[in-house]
């Protein structure tokens, strides 16, 4: 195992970073690997949008990694007996987008049938709106994509509804609940929900769109409040601390953690994914990834060794191949 050999990048990992940056000529790459004792191996290559080298401790928009924070708060409420994973959401919320029979578990695992606002959001974002978009308004009146539990389909709207659920149960805005229950206790000084809180600004990003989109955009998109699906900003150190706390049982009960890690055939659990076909034999890797305009990020946790991997890029280009190379470096013989 190559992990933990130095506090700065050995040449091989630096070569991985350079190759990753070369694949996205308009943006750089940051790789941070942390061993169980806290030793960090760091590699950076390329520049941010302002032309500066990437800072390993800088803050980033982490996109859907936000969902893991949201899921943890929901599971804490389960542990407190204030809600059950199989409770009908209609017992707590009157949201017309949520079909009858959709449960807390359905929302957490994307099997609710709640329509995803993201495709319409992508279209609107390309028009460079001056004001924040209301994601619920984008799908208002849409019918469910399928009956609850019948299929699996990733929908960012699920986690916006879970933000509403957190507020209904705690009496706090979701950003405040996440801060009170997770960010504050863990001392995550660089982590906050953008649009709802203030904090260190993110690394300037190349204004390209998701890798699946038809070309770049040249403007930013205002962030709305309570974006519990993908609005969080954080850095590599905070994400390492958070994921270690999750897997170390500091935040939820053993039964809730087990439910979180019970993944379906698509590798998705409750706000957490499992890598179905790791490129190295004998490893068990969980984590989450995020993509928002101009940013891509992945956090991985290898459960046998307690190793965390953070890969970030200030560009919307896919980083799947880079992820594979980093895993091979960390765990290959």
pLDDT tens digits, the chain, 333 residues: what are they?
Answer: 344 333 455 668 888 888 888 776 667 899 999 998 889 999 998 888 888 888 999 999 999 999 999 999 999 999 999 999 999 999 999 999 999 999 999 999 999 999 999 999 888 887 888 888 899 999 999 999 999 999 999 999 999 999 999 999 999 999 999 999 999 999 999 999 999 999 999 998 876 776 666 667 777 777 899 999 999 999 999 999 999 999 999 999 999 999 999 999 999 999 999 999 999 999 999 999 998 888 999 999 999 999 999 999 988 778 888 999 999 999 986
How far apart CA 96 and CA 170 sit, in angstroms, is 21
What confidence score (pLDDT) does residue 1 get? 39
Lookup: tokens for 249: 């049982």
Lookup: tokens for 49: 């949008």
Place of tokens 């990437």: 54
Place of tokens 């509403």: 164
Closest CA to 309 of 34, 68, 41, 62: 34
What confidence score (pLDDT) does residue 333 get? 62
How far apart CA 286 and CA 274 sit, in angstroms, is 4
Lookup: tokens for 179: 């801060």
Strand partners, 244: none
Other C-beta atoms closer than 10 Å to the C-beta of 60 total 29
What confidence score (pLDDT) does residue 25 get? 63
Other C-beta atoms closer than 10 Å to the C-beta of 110 total 24
What confidence score (pLDDT) does residue 326 get? 93
How far apart CA 276 and CA 176 sit, in angstroms, is 34
Answering whether pTM is above 0.85, one says yes
What confidence score (pLDDT) does residue 5 get? 33
Helix or strand or coil: residue 122? helix
Rg of the chain over Cα atoms, rounded to whole angstroms, equals 19
How far CA 47 is from CA of 143, 300, 322, in Å, comes to: 44, 23, 17
How far apart CA 294 and CA 60 sit, in angstroms, is 10
Place of tokens 């169980």: 36
Backbone angles phi, psi at 70, to 5 degrees: -60, -45
Lookup: tokens for 134: 């209301």
How far CA 268 is from CA of 104, 129, 203, 272, in Å, comes to: 15, 33, 29, 6
Q: Which residues contact 85 (CB under 8 A, 6 or more apart)?
A: 78, 103, 104, 105, 108, 259, 270
């Amino acid at each position: 195992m190559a992990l933990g050999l130095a506090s700065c990048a050995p040449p091989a990992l630096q070569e991985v970073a350079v190759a990753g940056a070369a694949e996205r000529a308009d943006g750089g790459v940051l790789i941070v690997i942390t061993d169980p004792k806290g030793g960090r191996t760091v590699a950076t290559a390329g520049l941010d949008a302002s032309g500066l080298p990437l800072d390993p401790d800088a803050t980033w928009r982490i996109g859907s990694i936000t969902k893991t924070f949201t899921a943890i708060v929901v599971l804490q409420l389960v542990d407190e007996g204030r809600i059950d994973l199989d409770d009908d959401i209609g017992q707590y919320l009157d949201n017309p987008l949520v079909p009858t029979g959709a449960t807390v578990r359905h929302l957490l695992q994307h099997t609710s049938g709640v329509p995803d606002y993201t495709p319409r959001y992508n279209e609107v974002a390309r028009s460079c709106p001056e004001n924040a978009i209301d994601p619920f308004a984008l799908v208002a009146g849409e019918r469910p994509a399928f009956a609850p539990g019948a299929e699996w389909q990733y929908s960012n709207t699920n986690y916006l509804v879970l933000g509403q659920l957190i507020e209904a149960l705690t009496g706090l805005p979701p950003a405040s609940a996440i801060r009170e229950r997770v960010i504050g206790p863990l001392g995550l000084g660089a982590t906050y929900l953008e649009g709802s809180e203030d904090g260190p600004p993110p690394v300037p990003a190349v204004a390209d769109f998701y890798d699946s989109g038809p070309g770049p955009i040249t403007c930013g998109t205002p962030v709305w409040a309570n974006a519990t699906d993908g609005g969080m900003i954080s850095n590599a150190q905070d994400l390492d601390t958070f994921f270690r706390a999750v897997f170390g049982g500091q935040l939820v009960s053993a039964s809730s953690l087990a439910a979180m890690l019970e993944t379906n055939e698509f590798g998705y659990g409750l706000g957490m994914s499992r890598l179905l076909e790791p490129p190295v034999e004998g490893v068990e890797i969980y984590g989450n990834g995020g993509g928002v305009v101009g940013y891509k990020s992945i956090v991985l946790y290898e459960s046998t060794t307690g190793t965390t991997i953070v890969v970030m890029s200030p560009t919307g280009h896919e980083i799947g191949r880079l992820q594979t190379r980093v895993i091979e470096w960390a765990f290959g013989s």
